[in-house]
Amino acid sequence: MAKSIAVLLDDKRLGEMKGSELENKVQMMFGGQLTCFILEMDDDKAKQVMDAFHTARVDSRGFITDVPIAFNRVLFEEIAKTKSLGAEPIDGVMARVSEIQEFAAKEGEYLPVPEL
């Protein structure tokens, strides 16, 4: 069974999607007040993700959760770069595993402050 992962979007992230086809793929949660992309991947790709990040797990709805914060951030960057919700952004993420793991190791001590 294919696995999914949700990528949360806020106004800043939505702004980066302006004009692209992905604008039509935005999904609504909480009555439309929270938006996200749902990215699907086949079992092969899911296994790569699970193998690379030990905290990751699959919840009852088939969503991959508990990945490092840096994973989510890099995944959005790759989506923004490739303007795709297919295999390309996941491939992009897997090419940056060591970078993500380096951030993840420090996530218990430091997380970058968002700009308001």
Partner 1 sequence: MSLVIETPPPHGGRLEERVVRDRELGRKLAKGCPVFDIKPTLDENGVPVRNVYREIMSICYGFFSPVEGSMKKAEVDRILKERRLLNDWVFPYPLVFDITEEDLKNLGVTVGDRVLLRIKGKPFAVLDIDEIWRIENTEELATKTFGTPEDNPEVVKEPFDKKMPGWVIYKSLNPVVLAGKFRIINEPTFLPPFDKYWFPPRKSREEYARREWRTVINHQTRNVPHIGHEFLMKNAAYMGDSEPCHGIQVNAIIGVKRPGDYPDEAIIEGHQAVNEGGYIKPERHLVTFTLWDMRYGNPLESMLHGIIRQNMGCTHHMFGRDHAAVGEYYDMWSTQILWGKGIPSFGFPAPITDVPYGLKIRPQNMAEFWYCPVCNEIAYSGCCGHDKEKEKFSGSFVRGMVAEGVFPPKVIFRPEVYKVIVKWWKEFDYPFCNPKYVKEKEERLEVDLPDMDI
Asked if residue 95 binds partner 1 (CB under 8 A), the reply is no
d(CA 78, CA 84): 8
Check: CB of residue 104 under 8 Å from CB of residue 70.
yes
Q: Cβ neighbours of residue 79 under 8 Å, at least 6 residues apart?
A: 7, 22, 37, 39, 85, 89
Asked if residue 31 binds partner 1 (CB under 8 A), the reply is yes
Q: Which is nearer to partner 1, 23 or 43 (CB)?
A: 23
Q: Which is nearer to partner 1, 34 or 95 (CB)?
A: 34
- Which positions touch partner 1 (CB under 8 A)? 8-13, 29-31, 33-34, 65-66, 69, 72-73, 107-114, 116
